[in-house]
Amino acid sequence: METCKAAIRRRALELGFVLCGFTSAESPEHFPRFREWIAAGLHAGMGYLADDRSHAMRADPTRLLPAARSIIALAIPYPPPPAAEKLPLEGIVAAYALGDDYHEVVRARLRMLCGQIDRLAGRSVESRGYVDTAPLLEREIASRAGLGWVGRNSMLIHPRYGSFLFLAEILTGLDLPADPPFSTDRCGTCNRCRQACPTGCILPDRTIDSGRCISYLTIEHRGSIPETLRGLTGRAVFGCDICQIVCPWNRKAPPASESAFFPRAHFPVRDMGREYLLPEEGWRERFRLSPIRRAGREGYRRNLLIALGNTGREEAVPVLEAAARDADPVLKACAGWALEQIRLKNG
């Protein structure tokens, strides 16, 4: 089976994954901690995380694939965010969302890797690939397979590749020898991610208070963002990279080479006012293969209005005044708040 492992790892690297590790399909050690996090309500509005059926699968990966004997953990890098152009109405999008939807890109490679498993075994083996779509404790699985450690900001960090990584897993019926887990915590006394987080969402136990996380607020959260947090989200219109940008382990990571994850031509968002006025059809076409669709058009527009208010720029006033007359009560309220912020900053 060691020969089989080597061949799978070699094929994974050919497909663009920079890390490939192997672990058993046994229950994750830290599932009770996940349950405590849910019980404390730190998952905010992500009710799907608290679903009993998904809990059962997170506690036992073989509920996803009864035949599973091993899990192949994989990572593929994406580029960190480009430097801001410092334009008056520029908005910020998380680096992972600047290119094509990673789900589609990575899923296609997982299918090819599953085909390699069948060829190596000389028979059809039950295998299923997942990329951020299954109830699995991905970071624990990755760490158990030797891919890195879970950092203070709850991200998986590799000493060479940092944390700008998409994680994926293949559950397979092949019984493959496990790799040694990544056993050292290399965050040490560094606390930069916690100090840099504008909303203080990174907790001392390396979990996240989702209800305060900018990524959650601008992507998963529906409805109005609490007023107490709006001024802390800055120019974020989709997601946040602050805790990764300040992480020392990302400074010397080699550049990502997968062109599908390179920023599309319309990023960064150079004029949030013009972006807000994009009609629905234009928005759908613009983000047709983009992770930004996750927020929905109204969520994205809500984020734009708050970010425009946080610029303090009077150039944003005409768009905000028009938005303040919108029939949508959330957009109307956010536009009113943004206008007030600009008024306060400009006297």
Beta bridge partners, 171, equal: 71, 128
Query: Which burial class, exposed, middle or buried, applies to 45 when counting CB atoms under 10 A from its CB (0-12, 13-18, 19+)?
Result: middle
Residue indicated by tokens 């708050």: 306
Residue type, 295: A
Task: Count CB-CB contacts under 10 A for residue 50.
Answer: 13
Residues 178/172, Cβ–Cβ less than 8 Å: no
Q: Nearest CA to 184 among 208, 158, 162, 160?
A: 158
What burial letters (b/e) apply to 259-269, b meaning 16+ CB within 10 Å?
ebbeeeeebbb
For strands 70-77 and 165-172, give the pairing: antiparallel
DSSP assignment letter at 174 = S
Q: What are phi and psi of 118, to 5 degrees?
A: -60, -45
Helix, strand or coil, per DSSP, at residue 166: strand
The alpha carbon of 311 is separated from its chain's Cα centroid by a whole number of angstroms, namely 25
What secondary structure does DSSP assign to 18-84, as a single string?
SEEEEEE-PPPTTHHHHHHHHHTTTTTT-GGGG-HHHHHHHH-GGGT-TT--EEEEEEEE-PPPPPP
Beta bridge partners, 129, equal: 170
Catalytic residues: 132
How is residue 119 written in tokens? 């060829």
